[in-house]
Amino acid sequence: MGLVSRFISKPLSHWLKRPRLGRNTPLSDFERIRHELKPGDVLLVEGRTRISEVIKVVTQSPWSHAALYVGRLHDIENEAVRAAVFRRSAFSPNTQLIIESELGTGTVVRALTEYANHHLRICRPVGLSADDAQTISAHAIKSLGRDYDVRQILDLARFLFPWGILPRRWRSSLFCQRAGTETRTVCSTMIAEAFAAVEFPILPLVQRNEQGRVRLYRRNPKLCTPSDFDYSPYFEIIKYPFYDFTDNPGYKLLPWATDQVGAPADAAVGMSKGEGTDN
């Protein structure tokens, strides 16, 4: 299985997945988010585990996880694809479902309510047709059972260092071609591959030739991170803050406390990492 697979044992995976202390009140209104979601939407999650903190540092973003929303069972039109989800889950037909890849469990189908107490953001592909949304969901569902690729996270981390100073054996293998079918993935790569199935862009490389014509080049899906969906110009960003003043006269009437307190320790750490600058 290789050095990385031998090193990342089950006890270490459990340790990495252990939640860290964080804010008690989420920054998102989960009820409004759950009613807004449509099949094909990408849900960004600000994770609270140790592995989430690693991903935040590697990607320089507060978004450590991404999941694909596929809707309820009846929203999946293809009978065979719907049956594949039904076999792998014990949820009721009315349960809102997501497909995600997670350390220690691989690619699985889960109830949306797993993230009811997290900071969330909806990234909606602009102009995506209903048929292509079904194709994207079906592609992700076919990935169920694939393992989580810890090696890929380490490869992304190595991109933070200048190529020339790393020993050859430590350099990233993201672009190495391997024979056979890939059996490992991470959350954003799985979703990027699903969108590539309908040729929907996330963050393509854009070049203009001497005649002024624009040409798009597909990026390696393994380079995709959760924040790419947030940054992409081809996804609409939908936010529902926990306390929303848009239905009220305005921010002037926010329920500010009369006394001023210092920032909590975890918030101060978040600001030092740039988390407080995300909008």
pLDDT digits (tens, 9 = 90+) for 81-100: 999 998 887 888 899 999 99
The mean pLDDT value for 148-172 works out to 51
By CB atoms closer than 10 A (0-12, 13-18, 19+), residue 128 is buried
Q: How many helices (H) and strands (E) does the chain have?
A: 10, 10
Q: Answer yes or no: is pLDDT of 186 > 90.
A: no
Residue 266 to residue 279: CA distance in whole angstroms: 18
Can you give the pLDDT at residue 13? Answer: 47
Give CA separation, 78 vs 70, 81, 89, 116, in Å.
12, 5, 17, 28
Can you give the pLDDT at residue 51? Answer: 66
3-state secondary structure of 111: strand
Can you give the pLDDT at residue 112? Answer: 96
Pairing of the two strands 42-46 and 97-102: unpaired
| Amino acid identity, position 70 | V
Can you give the pLDDT at residue 138? Answer: 96
The mean pLDDT value for 102-117 works out to 86
3-state secondary structure of 256: coil
As a whole number, the mean pLDDT across the chain is 76
Residue 99 to residue 118: CA distance in whole angstroms: 17
Nearest to 30 by CA among 154, 150, 117: 117
Residue 122 to residue 233: CA distance in whole angstroms: 14
All domains in the chain, ordered by first residue: 3-277 (3.90.1720.10)
Can you give the pLDDT at residue 236? Answer: 97
- Assessment of whether the complete model's pTM goes beyond 0.85: no
By CB atoms closer than 10 A (0-12, 13-18, 19+), residue 134 is buried
Q: Answer yes or no: is pLDDT of 171 > 80.
A: no
The mean pLDDT value for 235-255 works out to 78
- pLDDT over 70 for what percent of the chain? 63
